[in-house]
A and B are shown apart, each in its own frame.
Chain A
Amino acid sequence: MADLIQTPINRFDSSEKSGGLARYIADIPFKDMLFAKTLRSTRSRARIRAVHLPDLPQGYATIDRTDAPGSNRVHMIEDDWPFFAEETVNYVGEPILLLVGSDRAEILRLLSEISVEYEDLEPVLTIEESLAAEEPFYGERNIIAEYAIEKGDPDRAFEQAARVFEDEYCTGLQEHVYLEPQGVVAVFEKGRVTVYGSMQCPFYMKNALEQAFGWEPDRIRVVQTTTGGGFGGKEEYTSVLAGHAAFAAYKTGRPVQLILDRAEDISVTTKRHPSISRYRAAVDDRGNITALQVHIMLDGGAYAGLSSVVLQRSMLMAAGVYNIPNARITGQVLATNNIPSGAFRGFGAPQSLFAVEMHLHSLAEQLGEDPLDFKMKHALQRGDQTVSCGRMHHEVKLPEMVHILEEMSGYREKRRSLREQSSRVLKGIGLSLFFHGCAFTGSGEQDKIQAVVKLRKGKDGKVEILVSNAEIGQGPHTTLRKIVSHTLGIPVGDVLYGNPDTDRVPDSGPTVASRTVMIVGAMLERAATDLRDRMHEKGEVEVTRQYEQPDYICWDQDTLQGDAYPTYSWGANAVQVEVDPVTFEIRITGLWGVYDVGTPIDEQVVLGQIEGGMAQGLGYATLEVMVKKNGKPMQANLTDYIIPTAGDFPRMEAKLVKSSYEYGPFGAKCVGELPFLGAAPALVSAVEHALRQSVTRIPVTPEYLMEAVEHDHPIHPER
């Protein structure tokens, strides 16, 4: 192999996608297929007294909770989420039944004739209401999960503090807006159920169906079809749809297609957890932070889903990239009568990294220090103890990254000069430092996922990758092929990798947590090393590898203490803005980023993740507003829920620093989620710089800024 692994090659999926040849689930007709549409709750919280159905024509059927052959609960962590509502509905949009038939217009007509008798119950719609509720609807206290982690002696540090600072930060809902709406087709034949669809995690879906049907594993098959984006939205939620369609296929004996239209998709699928975070910092007389006390509250919605794990990551990232000697981090996921919150790129980290970055920024301003100097004074270094009392085992390149970022963006000079310029618009520049814990938290890979990968050399000498990880746009069809081809020393075109089919591939774990290249890729690298010695053998050769946890990882899942992640990827962003002092519109005029992701397996794929993650993060910080009225999203289409277009942001300038992680394939670390994380705090600190106004909430809309200025929210002292 003459080329380095980082040298970009054309993606394998580019041509068929450009030409409209790739088949997504809606593009695959099945013989005698029925269509399906869901009847959903119109109430936030109510007891279902009765459901009145019209006479159904021949060939039409309803499917509800009584049609789950095994269990009506979706297998996730708590198994509290029903496929179809049981005695009560707990959010607007909760499925009550599915109506299937051959004509879509007729299905809609029949649905409109169904009436549901509700007995309304008092809903809780916000974190505050959930905490204050006198009669909790979820468990004994409306709490889905709560944890505490502690480092050092925070009480003593606060007692001895020269100054103590407090702030509260809020973040909003965010919808994934993968361009391909969610969809599945279920088929029942020869005693087996097969679900085809748009998804990230074929084995999550398979496991959920095994429980729902109460069947032996070999009677359930899941096949991923070309998937038009996921971002976490097709991690756990797809299991709900799979159950609905599979119950219907089993009941009717016909293939059943269940595809959400955009309005339905936005209205009922999982969202990023809204959050409220309270930060309190103890500072000594030399201006050093000696302790942090953090309390994070996430709105989990009506069911647990993956919220407990999201909260863990939120808490483990809550001290940011800083070495704080004493800390107490507590967190709660509150149950509300909202759409269940779920996995979304960053998985709890965006909320706490926004808060901690803004808090350090605020401390620096109030202490009269330059925010960047103040942050770097506290930055983690190799060997430091993390907030969960683990070690920073690997090199931390923040000083080098910050130096490059300053050069690219002119941050320091602009920090002074932009303020002095007299123009109609107000200008500012802001910066964020951030990291992402790669792959599953703690020893999750070893204890829960236990991934297995397989390589199969065919008689023709071509090598097939057999893993359950899905191409959802992030590039594994290209990057994993490169890892195997470079290890074997064969042309990349001789490595095959199709969409996973659980009948053919081992469970190499879900396509989540930025783990595909770093964890699965490393296992494939080892498998390919084993296979290299056997390539000369005639006939088929199969090589299997299991996950092996690196020896240095120490973790206690009960106390959340130890090495929370195998390693970290790092980032530093700068954002320059202009804010109109009359309309408070924000115009982004400069975007810069420097990243340490280990060896990039393909520089172009990595930059694609960086640019796309940045845009999605800037959307989260500014444009993407979702508010609810009586539990119903007021922005249920792409006219009202605004995501960035090509005209919204300038081109980003991004650089990678040279770095290598010994346990990653060719030295690679995690990428996918990282670039999302720095956008919001960098943008918001630029807006603060421009307006001389404290901003503690995202999305930062013109309306919010106008109100903040008019009501004279705390303005930092002269900087």
Chain B
Amino acid sequence: MTIRFTLNGKEVSFDTDPLRRLLDVLREDFGLFGVKEGCGEGECGACALLIDGELANSCIVPVGTVQNAVIMTIEGFRETERYRVLEKSLADAGSVQCGFCTPGFVMAAEALLRNNPTPDEEAIREAISGNLCRCTGYHMIVEGIVQACRIGAKLWAKPTDR
């Protein structure tokens, strides 16, 4: 089956089995290794990305269901100004330890902030509750997102391109 979608701003089209996991397609066919497999069943969020602006776990998305969608992975998002603010804030807050979960948290933060540029702590915790981290106890990740909102409020307040 021919699958077409927009991947990190570029139109792509290719033939594949529509039942393959989007995660595998991105890693194996497109070399996007920032999308991690932590559990393979949609529980940990390490493979999180944006599909039409909504956060999704790519390990439970059959590639046939994203026909014509707009997909943004960490590889695309890291080229943005918003990412640079998030990256700096996460570093300043000590949010990153082993790092395996971090790209997923970054995508979850982006998904939150594009809808709510001024979230309170509870909203942040809610927004990242689908992402598991075993190293930090989450507080420094929450703090990193709080700092990003403070520094980059204007970036997310703009109308989004989704």
Contact = CB atoms under 8 A, between A and B. Distances in A.
A511 to B, nearest CB: 12
Nearest to A10: B91
A257 to B, nearest CB: 12
Interface centre among B87, B103, B126, B137, by most chain A C-beta atoms within 10 angstroms, is: B137
A612 B87 CA distance: 20
Given A179-B44, A261-B40, A262-B38, A475 B137 contact: no
Interface string B38-78: 11110110100000000000000000000000000111001
Interface string B19-54: 000000001000011111111110110100000000
B141 interface: yes
Contacts of B99: 13-14, 16-18, 22, 226, 228, 473
Interface string B71-94: 001110010000100110011101
A14 B90 CA distance: 8
A294 interface: no
B97 A608 contact: yes
A177 interface: yes
B103 A179 contact: no
A608 B140 contact: yes
Contact of A643 (B34, B35, B132, B141): B132
B12 interface: no
B96 interface: yes
Interface in A1-26: 8, 10-11, 13-24, 26
Contact of A646 (B36, B98, B142): B142
Given A229-B134, A652-B137, A17 B43 contact: no
B128 interface: yes
A182 to B, nearest CB: 12
B125 A647 contact: yes
A8 B125 CA distance: 25
Contacts of A227: 98
Interface residues of A, number: 57
A226 B40 CA distance: 20
Contacts, number: 177
B78 A637 contact: no
B29 to A, nearest CB: 12
A441 interface: no
Nearest to B79: A19
A612 B96 contact: no
Contacts of B33: 20, 23, 26-27
A316 to B, nearest CB: 27
A474 B97 contact: yes
B38 A473 contact: no
Contacts of B95: 14
Given A226-B99, A262-B39, A645 B129 contact: yes
A178 interface: yes
B94 A612 contact: no
Q: Interface residues of B toward A: which range?
A: 35 or more
Contacts of B38: 179-181, 262
A77 interface: no
B106 interface: yes
B137 A649 contact: yes
A179 B34 contact: no
Contact of A24 (B90, B91, B100, B106): B100
Nearest to B87: A18
Contacts of B90: 14, 18
Interface string A25-44: 01100000000000000000
Contacts of B102: 17-18
A419 to B, nearest CB: 29
B139 A652 contact: yes
A178 B106 CA distance: 19
B134 A612 contact: yes
A455 interface: no
A611 B136 contact: yes
A670 interface: no
Interface string B98-139: 111111001000000000000000001110111111111111
A612 B135 contact: yes
A20 B103 contact: yes
Given A19-B83, A20-B33, A646-B142, A179 B137 contact: no
Given A20-B33, A21-B34, A229 B96 contact: no
A645 B134 CA distance: 9
Contacts of B128: 646
Contacts of A449: none
Interface in A622-639: 637-639
A694 to B, nearest CB: 29
Given A26-B36, A181-B37, 4 more contacts: A17-B103, A179-B44, A230-B98, A262-B39
Interface of A: 8, 10-11, 13-24, 26-27, 176-181, 226-231, 261-263, 472-475, 604-605, 607-608, 611-616, 637-639, 643-647, 649, 651-652
15 contacts: A13-B99, A15-B87, A18-B86, A19-B83, A20-B73, A21-B78, A27-B27, A179-B135, A229-B100, A473-B135, A607-B94, A611-B137, A645-B129, A646-B138, A646-B142
